[in-house]
Amino acid sequence: MDVLLREVKDGILTLTMNRPEAINALTTEMLRELGQAIKEASAPEVRVVVLQGAGRGFCSGQDLREFEGQRISYKNHLRNYRSVVEGLAGLEKPVIAAIHGAAAGAGLSLALACDLRIASADAVLTTGFSKIGLIPDAGMNYHLPRMVGYARAFELEVLSGRIKAEEALGLGLVNKVVAVESFAEEVARLASELAQGPTKTYGLIKRALRRSASASLEEMLEYEALLQEVAGRSEDHQEGVRAFYEKRSPRFQGK
Ligand code: T3D
């Protein structure tokens, strides 16, 4: 059985973590495939990525059975997780985490590394690591405090409570909560809207927002000016302005 399913349709690459019997727990093989798939997502025919889980949940984090009885190694950990987390965060196109059921441990870390998180009303998020005496990893200590602030991040990481979808929305951990029945439809609608957008510009927006995490206002003003020069040269910018004057919807090609 393929541990990662990939489908490209209408500019949307859907990556489905596929170990439903263990709520898509992450094995070395799955992480390697995810890293490779995200690298390949830089191809121009892909304009948006959806990351989701098969079966009854999103992802339960590191497969605890895989490392049973073994010591966790710094080297193996970086080899397994780095390219996936950096890949999701650095990919210059929108990445949506479609979360239904459980998102735990490094599974939640992967969702936090995406640009948008759409939760089904049945979603339950938990950092989970401290319950097994580990510290949060896979970028959680980078993304979580930036989303919810230090005090909330501390609470979520230390107490490892189970956060239901509506609470996650209130905390700013997810962008939207959707009824279970319309979840797939809403994810598809959002992905399709993004896939028809100015992909190159979206990538530049993502770059700017990522840079702002560690830059001063002065640096950002300079960086924005640089990126704007690039955006200004894009075909989609020309098309956007033309469409504005012609009073019609733009037809962006993602270039
Ligand atoms: O360097 C390194 O590699 C270290 C990296 C660490 C990164 C991490 O992610 S550490 C954190 C690992 N994840 C967890 O500790 C979460 C463990 N799972 C849970 O807390 C719960 O399963 C969930 C909250 C995710 C879901 O709960 P629930 O009640 O809906 O499902 P369940 O009954 O607990 O699980 C269903 C099955 O999935 C069950 O198998 P069974 O009994 O039916 O054969 C369970 O063992 C399996 N499963 C769930 N999580 C994992 C798992 N199997 C392996 N690894 C898992 N992480």
**Domain 199-245 - what CATH class?**
mainly alpha
CA angle 20, 136, 30 (to 5 degrees): 35
- For the Cβ of 61 lying below 6 angstroms from any atom of ligand 1, the answer is yes
C-beta atoms surrounding 18 within 10 Å? 17
What is the pLDDT of the chain when averaged over all its residues?
A: 97
Give the pLDDT confidence of 124-133 residue by residue, as tens digits.
999 999 999 9
Closest residue by CA, ligand 1 atom 29: 102
Atom of ligand 1 nearest to the CA of 67: 3
- For the Cβ of 137 lying below 6 angstroms from any atom of ligand 1, the answer is yes
pLDDT the model gives residue 1: 85
pTM exceeding 0.85: yes
Which of 58, 60, 82 to probe ligand 1 with, by most ligand atoms within 8 A of CB?
A: 60
Where do the structural domains in the chain lie, given as residue ranges?
Answer: 4-195, 199-245
- For the Cβ of 77 lying below 6 angstroms from any atom of ligand 1, the answer is yes
Confidence of residue 251 (pLDDT cuts 50, 70, 90): very high
Give the pLDDT confidence of 218-240 residue by residue, as tens digits.
999 999 999 999 999 999 999 99
Q: Out of 66-75, 76-85, 232-241, which region has the weakest mean confidence (pLDDT)?
A: 66-75
Just give the CATH number of 4-195: 3.90.226.10
Give 204's contacts (C-beta < 8 A, 6+ positions apart).
Answer: 92, 227, 230, 231
Give the pLDDT confidence of 178-214 residue by residue, as tens digits.
999 999 999 999 999 999 999 999 999 999 999 999 9
